[in-house]
Amino acid sequence: MNVLTFNAGSSSLKVGIYSVDGERARPLFARTLSMEPTAAGATAAVNATLDNELPSEIAFDAVGHRMVFGGPEDAPALASPELFARLARFERLDPLHAPAALAALRTTHERLAHLPNVLCFDTAFFRDLPERARILPIENPDPNFLRRYGFHGLSYDYVRATLGGRLGSRAILAHLGSGASLAALKDGKPIESTMGFSPLGGILMATRPGDLDPGILLYLLEDRQQSPAHLRELLEERSGLRAISGGERDLRRLLERADDPRAILAVDAFCTSVVKAVGALAALLGGLDTVVFTGGVGEHLAPIRSSIVGRLALFGMKLDEKANAVHADVISAPTSAVTVRVVTTDENATIARATSALVHATAERMR
């Protein structure tokens, strides 16, 4: 089966066509288009793709999309009026991602109505988290919905499928990009994630703060009279690296500003937040066999990986600087007690596999 995939991000639309055979998804076509992170921007980018970008010689049998958050019902789902109605509420809860993702799905559902259109959720990878990793320590009127979920699951699923047994029994996966998180896997199953109810929490990110003392938000609401809308903008667009550095969110550019104290501080704060997360997750795992870097920062910024690994020597972790400089698959030294890897993630491949599996399962049920 050939699957057309769409992954609407914060500034781009990643498009791919994959030939899927069971658990294998072979890329046939890939394109990345610039996109405004709005419903209108996603609609325009998808229409441009369908009109001008796809190769005419490659046919496809189904369409798959990424959705960051869909609440507790996060198994891959076929597009339908009921699905759109259920997910409409999340456009307000996740304005960074949901409006664009739903607009992209609506567009292909209308224009490619003769094909199955499938939505795949980032949170599904963490569906079986232990209860202690799911609960929130507050009086909770709706614990099934208001809980910790975990994100970047499509990326983590790809890494797990790619490495298989090479992950070892105790692994930490670090998806480091504009959005960033870490996940702990025990025998291949996730037991903890740094992100919780939303993609705002966890480690420091490009424009998001990561974990933040709730008292700060109460102070801004009550003493500074800031509105919820202003707080949302602050947390989604004006925090993290951008706030610490004085306006720059891109770690590449921050690394270039070697004489700028605020840039140095921002890079140090980011690496420190990752190191703290690795330490906490390693304690839960009872040790470490493997650390995997992925995502735009994790895959491409050797100085960031070097800074992080260098601070984790207490685990017996040692970096091969030459391997790290060329982004080798394995960047740990032969004498390292922990294997450190770099994996180029492909969320669209995970979408393609999940879409194919659902379409085949649906066809089997209808026989």
Query: Is the Cβ–Cβ distance between 102 and 348 less than 8 Å?
Result: no
Tokens, residue 271 = 């690496």
Cα–Cα distance for residue pair 145/234, rounded to 1 Å: 25
Q: Is 172 helix (H, G, I), strand (E, B) or coil?
A: strand
pLDDT given at position 366 = 80
Cα–Cα distance for residue pair 358/361, rounded to 1 Å: 5
pLDDT given at position 64 = 98
Cα–Cα distance for residue pair 51/54, rounded to 1 Å: 8
Helices (H) then strands (E): counts for the chain = 15, 11
Residue among 21, 61, 94, 122 flagged as catalytic: 122
Give every strand in the sheet of 290-294, ordered side by side: 189-193, 180-186, 170-176, 290-294, 339-342
Q: What 8-state DSSP symbol labels residue 286?
A: T
Could you give the domains of the chain? 2-121 (3.30.420.40), 166-342 (3.30.420.40)
Mean pLDDT for the stretch of residues 293-303: 97
Confidence class of residue 91 from pLDDT cuts 50, 70 and 90? confident
Cα–Cα distance for residue pair 337/314, rounded to 1 Å: 10
User: Length of the chain, please?
Assistant: 367
List, for residues 131-142, the tens digit of each pLDDT value.
999 999 999 999
List, for residues 187-210, the tens digit of each pLDDT value.
999 999 999 999 999 999 999 999
Q: Is 329 a catalytic residue?
A: no
Cα–Cα distance for residue pair 138/109, rounded to 1 Å: 39
Question: Given the structure tokens 């330490």, which residue do they identify?
Answer: 279
Query: Is the Cβ–Cβ distance between 117 and 101 less than 8 Å?
Result: no
Cα–Cα distance for residue pair 90/99, rounded to 1 Å: 8
Mean pLDDT for the stretch of residues 164-185: 97
Confidence class of residue 251 from pLDDT cuts 50, 70 and 90? very high
Mean pLDDT for the stretch of residues 213-217: 97
Lowest mean pLDDT among 99-103, 127-131, 314-318: 99-103
**Sign for the pseudo-dihedral over CA of 39, 84, 22, 53:** negative
Alpha helices, DSSP H only, in 2-127?
Answer: 39-48, 81-87, 90-93, 98-111
Q: Is 345 helix (H, G, I), strand (E, B) or coil?
A: coil
List, for residues 328-349, the tens digit of each pLDDT value.
999 999 999 999 999 999 999 9
Cα–Cα distance for residue pair 5/355, rounded to 1 Å: 9
Q: What 8-state DSSP symbol labels residue 173?
A: E
Long-range CB contact pairs, 248-253, < 8 A, 24+: 249/178, 249/206, 249/207, 250/206, 251/206, 251/297, 251/301, 251/304, 252/301
Residue 106: half-sphere exposure toward Cβ, Cα within 13 Å? 17
**Sign for the pseudo-dihedral over CA of 312, 324, 206, 281:** negative
Chain centre distance of CA 151: 6
Say which residues have a Cβ less than 8 Å from residue 61's Cβ, sequence separation at least 6. 1, 2, 3, 115, 116, 359
